[in-house]
Every structure is written in structure tokens, then in C-alpha cells.
Amino acid sequence: MNEDLLHKYSTYDEDYQNPTFPDFNRKISKITGRLAKWLGIAGIILILVGYAPSIWYTLTPNKFDLSKLIAATFRKENTNKFATEDNNIQKSAYQPRFDPNLPKENRIKIPSVKIETTINEASWENYENALKISVWRVPDFGTPASRTLPTILAAHRYGYLKWSIPYRLKNSFYNLSKLKVGDTVEITWEQRKYIYEVYKESEGEEITDYSSDLILYTCESLNSPVRIFKYARLLEI
């Protein structure tokens, strides 16, 4: 074979096997670098947004003690409203069937706002122990099984700095404000599933309706005594 032709063939073959595109590679590198930068910034923003309330609450002086505010909802004299005629309505004896396959721990699930967590028992003196986990059942009131008085469940809205964002969304009442009239709440209590429907909501410092079967509440913000209340009736289904 002609030597010149052989040389050209060899050079072509090397170029084909090992192509180089310096301009293209530089563009790809720049695009990748910018994308990584923006993804990093977006990630930092998401983290700050998620943790900002807890960070602010931790660092701000003279802040409200939200745990005490939650407990204080029932410490006022006028909370004796639950003993008035409004709550002397005859309650149904209905009980859902016992299901051994349900968990033994008492739990609450609110599908519409993606809350699913345990219901924790604690005395008035130790309510913080329950709130540090998730939801606290206020003592001296009712339970799903015993409905002479309403079942009252409270939880922090923003929780604690050590809580991760996924934990907060699932175990606190962060999204309680999004719970709407007509939405359902599921409570597993002593291996029976009780289903409630929200019929009323309010904001303020006091409960306005003790005739309901279930009351959920949390703080409206980090620097206000206002609370968010949701009222629900038990469905016999």
C-alpha cells in the first residue's frame, strides 16, 4: 500500500477512535458547574425555610413559651365551659369493632394534611415530655372510647430545632391550618379505629365548642398567643 495513503488512513483511524471536542467539553463543564451551583443554593434555601421557625424561636429573647401556652388553654377559669349544657348532650354508645391487626399504640392520622403519629399521654406537670415527641392528649378530658367529654389533642406547630423537616411535617400540627371542614381524622385507640369529620374551625385563645367529640389545636405563630382550633364529630361507620 502506498505509504502516504497508509499514513492518512492511520491518522484518520486514530482521530475516529479518540475524538476530541474541546469547545463542546468546555460548554458541558460550564453548564454542569452552574447546575450544581443552583442546586446547592436551592438546597440551602429549602433547609433554611424548613428550620427557620425553630431557629428563630430558639434565638429570639423574650419569646412566648409555646408549650406553656398550649397547656394554659385549659388552665383558665372559663374553661369550665365544658361543664355547661352544651356538653350535656347525650352521646351515642357507638364503638367501632375491635381489630387485633391494628397497632396497640394509640395513633392519629390525618390523610389530607399528611399527619400520622402517636398520641402521647402525660400529666399536666409533664406535658412537655409528650409535646417533645408529637401529639399530647390533654388529661382530664375524654378519650375516643369514653366521650362524656371531648377528646382534646394538642401539638406544637413548629416543634424543636432537633426535629428534621420530614419528622416535623408528619408528627407536629404544622399543617393543621390546612385541615378543612369536611376532612376526616382517623384515630386508632385501643385497637379500634375511630373516624371523625371536621365540622368547624376557629382561631383565638380559647375553645369555643366543647360539645364536639374531638378537638385539635396548635399555636398560630411563634410570637402570638392565638391558637388554631379544629372541631370534629365521630362518624358511626
27-79 pLDDT per residue, tens: 777 777 677 776 766 556 555 555 545 554 455 544 445 567 666 676 544 45
Considering only residues 158 and 23, tell me which one the structure prediction assigns the higher pLDDT. Answer: 158
pLDDT reported for residue 122:
96
pLDDT reported for residue 67:
66
The confidence band for 89, taking pLDDT boundaries of 50, 70 and 90, is low
- Sign, CA dihedral 166-168-174-179, equals positive
Q: Please check the confidence at residue 18 and state whether its pLDDT lies above 80.
A: no
The confidence band for 114, taking pLDDT boundaries of 50, 70 and 90, is very high
Q: How far is CA 73 from the centre of its chain?
A: 21
95-133 residues labelled b (16+ CB within 10 A) or e (exposed): ebeeeeeeeeebbbebeebebebbbbebeeeebeebbbe
Give whole-number Cα distances, 165 to 130, 157, 172, 229, in Å.
19, 12, 10, 23
pLDDT reported for residue 222:
74
Report the percentage of the chain scoring pLDDT > 90.
Answer: 53
The cell 406547630 sits on which residue? 157
- The cell numbers describing 89, all together, are 348532650
How far, in Å, CA of 214 to CA of 227, rounded?
A: 16
Considering only residues 67 and 164, tell me which one the structure prediction assigns the higher pLDDT. Answer: 164
pLDDT reported for residue 92:
85
208-223 residues labelled b (16+ CB within 10 A) or e (exposed): ebbbbbbbbbbbbeee
Q: Please check the confidence at residue 1 and state whether its pLDDT lies above 70.
A: no
Q: What is the arithmetic mean of pLDDT over 171-197?
A: 98
Q: Please check the confidence at residue 82 and state whether its pLDDT lies above 60.
A: no
Q: Please check the confidence at residue 112 and state whether its pLDDT lies above 70.
A: yes
pLDDT reported for residue 76:
45
Asked if 179 and 112 touch (Cβ cutoff 8 Å), the reply is yes
Q: How many CB atoms lie within 10 A of CB 185?
A: 24
